[in-house]
Chains A and B, each alone.
Chain A
Amino acid sequence: MNSILEQYKTLPESEVTTWFKAAPVSKFPENGGACVKIEGKQIAVFNFTVEGKWYASQNVCPHKMEMVLSRGMIGEDCGTPKIACPLHKKTFSLETGENLNGEEYSIAVYPVKVEDGFVYIGTN
């Protein structure tokens, strides 16, 4: 089962080779998340409408390996944008993927950009 986790590695923007065209902005809930399918992978995309920012991460929660993070709640922890998993509310930084509850597991995060009303996710 852990092989799922191995598919997701944080990708710095500098290493993006292709931008995957996910869906129009209008398909993403404001101040919420949705899941994008990229060739067998599941990427959660979060629309921080209040700040006009977007973040993306693996959809699988490393706590129990369920594909659920896009259904979680976004928020901030002392200024760090974060996602809380809907299953047990473990929280992760959307900037670094770091676990904010002090546990060892973390998530992979990906660059996102919005162009001409479309959301793109960085891949390589």
Chain B
Amino acid sequence: MKTILVIGNGMVGYKFCEKLMAKTKSEDYKVVVFGEEPRPAYDRVHLSEYFADQNAERLSMAPRSWYEENKIELITNERVTDIHRGSKTITTISDKEYTYDYLVLATGSSAFVPPIPGVEKEGVFVYRTIEDLDATMAYVAKIKAEGSPKKAAILGGGLLGLEAGKAILDMGVETSVVEFAPRLMPRQLDNDASKVLQRKLEDLGIEILLSKGTQNIEGDKAITGMKFSEDETLPVDMLLVSAGIRPRDELAKTCGLDVGTRGGIVVTNDMKTSDDSIYAIGECALLNHMIYGLVAPGYDMAGVAVDQILGNIEAAMPTSIDMSTKLKLSGIDVASFGDALNENKESESIVYENKFQGIYKKINVSKDGKKLLGGILVGDASDYNMLHQIFLNGMKIPENPEDLILGARGGEEASFGSALDLPDSAVVCSCEAVTKGDICCKVEEGVTTMKGIASETKATTGCGGCKPMVNDLIKETLKAQGVVVKEIVCEHFEYSRQELYEIVKIKGIKTYDELLATYGKGKLGCETCKPVAASLFASIYADTGNDHNVIQDSNDKFLANIQRNGTYSVVPRVAGGEITPEQLIILGQIGKKYDLYTKITGGARIDFFGAELHELPLIWKDLIDAGFESGHAYGKSLRTVKSCVGSTWCRYGMDESVSFAIEIENRYKGLRSPHKIKGGVSGCIRECAEARGKDFGIIAVEGGWNLYIGGNGGATPRHAELLAEKITNEEVIKYTDRFLMYYIKTAGPLVRTAAWLDKIEGGIEHVKDVVIKDSLGLCEELDKDMAGLVDAYKCEWKEAIENIDEQNNRFAHFVNSTDGDENIEFVSLRDQKMPKLWS
């Protein structure tokens, strides 16, 4: 039996053991691991989480019992001091001696502390081990106990420095980051990206000082300041040095292995050092004249060393090693990949910058416009995974490469399509080297949850950056398998919306709980099936959010649209857009009284924004007292029937479009449907009401009205199609009633009339047959159902206010206090107000 000694039990040393055990039986090799730190290997990448919970267990890579089960002897708290290559032995600090056949150096690196005079002073720390963090936290506690406000500095504005800065700030100490270079993360970002990042950090409260060389650390025993020049000193109470890393090559040096001039144990791409029986892996290894300070390449190195020892002499590190990185600060998105700085000048850059929102995106595209070579994302890194994959796999990019960062304008689809387009060999989780193929294969075998995939493949268990992509792969694989072929509502109901409509109606089911208990699965339902049921109760019984409160989508629940900052908007109905000066004055007074941002909507009425939850009933009481009604701007229901001024005033008008629009709007107000419905009535074919862009459009022509259906503005615009020509007012209403009711009965959840008409077999001709010729014999029922709904209309805001239960008020922000939400912040905008921007 051969003996493998592993020096260093860090992330990579552990991964070596794990990979070895996956490929061989414990009986084949005797493995002894030495670790200088007191505890078994832990996840250094997530070290800063220890600041928050001091839970070392959670960071552990594997418990001691794992080593025991695999018959690996783990000796912690024991530094190896010498390697005797002649006798193939090593000795440890406590003078123990061990013989090896193979020796693996996984000694990692230590934090680099620049030789600034005074760095040895009390209050100066590094950021590498749990013990470093314990010491830092103890010092923070000590200085904070002194009372006066304290200040810390971080030396180094790189990836780790920023992470450390945030951690110290979170401990309640004012923090400055001091960087020698003129920009932050100088190895990953360019100047403009750095500026955007700087602003974000400053918004968090971290001071950023660039182009600062530290000459001296001031203070007697403990640090009191950092001196940058004769006349510039930054007073600080502590300093955390994060100025880079130095590979731990001291053992290699003393036993005469080749090391690089600036440190690092020289290895070839088979991970062998200059001595054939000694390997070096991880952050101590100098490969291609580089130290790779990231875990993913370290893990690859561990795999190569395992294969080599097991006799696969072909195993080697790839020629190009990916150094893409994403910053892990909550709330701050920063990522860079590939040749981010265009150092080789091989590419052209496309840059998008939005100073208003603090977003900077840059991609470097090969000169022929065909390949993505690298990029930088600050402020919004949501596309990082996909862009990174496109780069790694040399995938084809869109004809207009800018679509990669701007999105394909003019459609909702992401310009890079679906995660399923990736080649099977694409490494999705680089920490654990899990490919797209591995993941999709498991999904096909029936592992369809994030948790399942994590335990089966280990994907997402490292840095976690691949989670969104794994999630997409699960969803899209399932979709491609046709798992959702039948358009069932969700996991709780094996029925389509249309089927549920029939069930609810025929069985007379009146509540969600009853529906779930009799036709659903599970006890609780979810945010997909609940609103569908709510919409059915509304479309069948004219029940509203007042009746079924907790199953409504948020807007229906509070009868108002929730806005960006958790406040709401208020839109009273202004049928046909006709409004008296008196009504306008009242609206103005109400807007003023509650300090609401006020705007004329695209639906030709007035919208108030910025109402807090508890203000809604007050505002609506005033509106209702003045004769207004709910405008249902929040509902999947009739919104507006837009009109042009028509023959009342217009010299071209063929009929009274305003009167008719008002009549129609009042007829369908409150009507609940699978998606929102909008109408338009124009007085002539000049079409000033844009009626053909609406779900139903009515246009006055010589000899009557033309009725069009299935129009849409929005994301996929579509002109409405002609349903009937030159018909009377009564006929317009009859056919519109039937068309709407037929749509309500048969459409899927959140499908607008345009999409419904596109999908329905037979298209417009079929609808004509059903609503005009009564080909399905449905008309009587459609007429009756619509008449019932029109009769059942009540203003739900009026109802809500009349029934307010002071004891149990759904419009109160708190159950145990009458306060509002103090986190809501507004800023001013052109004499009005708007929500403070999302950071």
A residues with a Cβ closer than 8 A to B are: 1-6, 9, 22-23, 26-32, 34-37, 42, 45, 48, 50-51, 60, 62, 64-68, 71-79, 81-82, 84, 86-87, 89, 91, 100-105
14 extra interface residue pairs, beta carbon distance < 8 Å, beyond A2-B839, A84-B527: A1-B839, A22-B815, A35-B814, A36-B814, A48-B524, A50-B523, A65-B331, A67-B566, A67-B823, A71-B558, A74-B524, A76-B522, A76-B525, A87-B554
Interface residues of B in 525-541 (CB under 8 A from A): 525-527, 530-531
B residues with a Cβ closer than 8 A to A are: 52-53, 170, 203-205, 330-331, 449-450, 464-465, 467-468, 470-472, 474, 491, 513, 522-527, 530-531, 549-554, 557-558, 562, 564-566, 613, 807-808, 810, 813-817, 819, 821, 823-824, 838-839
A50 CB, min distance to chain B CBs, angstroms: 5
Q: How far, in whole Å, are A3 and B562 apart by their CA atoms in the complex?
A: 24
Q: Are B468 and A2 in contact (CB under 8 A)?
A: no
- Residues of A with C-beta under 8 A to B817: 37
- Residues of A with C-beta under 8 A to B522: 76, 79
Partner of B816, one of A2, A22, A91, A100: A22
Partner of A76, one of B465, B513, B523, B810: B523
Q: How far, in whole Å, are A74 and B835 apart by their CA atoms in the complex?
A: 27
Q: How far, in whole Å, are A7 and B814 apart by their CA atoms in the complex?
A: 18
Q: Are B526 and A75 in contact (CB under 8 A)?
A: yes
A11 CB, min distance to chain B CBs, angstroms: 11
Q: How far, in whole Å, are A104 and B474 apart by their CA atoms in the complex?
A: 16
Q: How far, in whole Å, are A105 and B653 apart by their CA atoms in the complex?
A: 57
- Residues of A with C-beta under 8 A to B551: 31, 73
Supposing A9-B52, A68-B566 touch, asked if A29 and B810 sit within 8 A by C-beta, the answer is: yes
- Residues of A with C-beta under 8 A to B449: 78
Q: Are A27 and B808 in contact (CB under 8 A)?
A: yes
Supposing A9-B52, A36-B815 touch, asked if A73 and B471 sit within 8 A by C-beta, the answer is: no
Q: Are B523 and A51 in contact (CB under 8 A)?
A: yes
Supposing A75-B524, A81-B524 touch, asked if A1 and B557 sit within 8 A by C-beta, the answer is: no
- Residues of A with C-beta under 8 A to B464: 104
When C-beta atoms are compared, the residue in chain A nearest to B328 turns out to be A104
Q: Are B170 and A32 in contact (CB under 8 A)?
A: no
A1 CB, min distance to chain B CBs, angstroms: 5
Q: Are A27 and B815 in contact (CB under 8 A)?
A: yes
Q: Are A101 and B471 in contact (CB under 8 A)?
A: yes
Q: Are B566 and A23 in contact (CB under 8 A)?
A: no
Q: Are B523 and A3 in contact (CB under 8 A)?
A: no
B614 CB, min distance to chain A CBs, angstroms: 11
Q: Are B819 and A50 in contact (CB under 8 A)?
A: no
Supposing A27-B808, A30-B550 touch, asked if A6 and B170 sit within 8 A by C-beta, the answer is: yes
A72 CB, min distance to chain B CBs, angstroms: 7
> For B203, B330, B491, B815, which residue has the most chain A Cβ atoms within 10 angstroms?
B815
Q: Are B808 and A77 in contact (CB under 8 A)?
A: no
Q: How far, in whole Å, are A103 and B460 apart by their CA atoms in the complex?
A: 11
Supposing A1-B204, A4-B823 touch, asked if A71 and B523 sit within 8 A by C-beta, the answer is: no
Partner of A86, one of B331, B468, B562: B562
Supposing A2-B331, A91-B527, A103-B468 touch, asked if A65 and B838 sit within 8 A by C-beta, the answer is: yes
A17 CB, min distance to chain B CBs, angstroms: 16
Q: How far, in whole Å, are A72 and B330 apart by their CA atoms in the complex?
A: 23
- Residues of A with C-beta under 8 A to B554: 71-73, 86-87
Q: Are A29 and B808 in contact (CB under 8 A)?
A: yes
Q: Are A26 and B553 in contact (CB under 8 A)?
A: no
- Residues of A with C-beta under 8 A to B524: 48, 50-51, 74-76, 81
Q: How far, in whole Å, are A3 and B330 apart by their CA atoms in the complex?
A: 10
Q: How far, in whole Å, are A30 and B522 apart by their CA atoms in the complex?
A: 17
Partner of B821, one of A30, A32, A42: A42
Q: Are A1 and B550 in contact (CB under 8 A)?
A: no
- Residues of B with C-beta under 8 A to A74: 524, 550
Q: How far, in whole Å, are A28 and B464 apart by their CA atoms in the complex?
A: 36
When C-beta atoms are compared, the residue in chain A nearest to B809 turns out to be A27
Q: How far, in whole Å, are A86 and B450 apart by their CA atoms in the complex?
A: 23
Q: How far, in whole Å, are A39 and B300 apart by their CA atoms in the complex?
A: 50
- Residues of B with C-beta under 8 A to A6: 52, 170
When C-beta atoms are compared, the residue in chain A nearest to B527 turns out to be A84
Q: Are A73 and B808 in contact (CB under 8 A)?
A: no
> For B470, B557, B558, B816, which residue has the most chain A Cβ atoms within 10 angstroms?
B816
B430 CB, min distance to chain A CBs, angstroms: 16
When C-beta atoms are compared, the residue in chain B nearest to A34 turns out to be B815
Q: Are B491 and A78 in contact (CB under 8 A)?
A: yes
- Residues of B with C-beta under 8 A to A29: 549-550, 808, 810
Q: Are A76 and B815 in contact (CB under 8 A)?
A: no
When C-beta atoms are compared, the residue in chain B nearest to A81 turns out to be B524
Q: How far, in whole Å, are A23 and B807 apart by their CA atoms in the complex?
A: 11
Q: Are A35 and B813 in contact (CB under 8 A)?
A: yes
Q: How far, in whole Å, are A73 and B821 apart by their CA atoms in the complex?
A: 19
18 residue pairs A–B, Cβ–Cβ below 8 Å: A1-B331, A5-B331, A34-B814, A42-B823, A50-B523, A65-B838, A67-B813, A67-B823, A68-B566, A71-B554, A73-B531, A73-B551, A73-B552, A76-B525, A84-B526, A101-B471, A102-B450, A102-B472
- Residues of A with C-beta under 8 A to B526: 73, 75-77, 82, 84
B396 CB, min distance to chain A CBs, angstroms: 26
Partner of B467, one of A27, A35, A104: A104
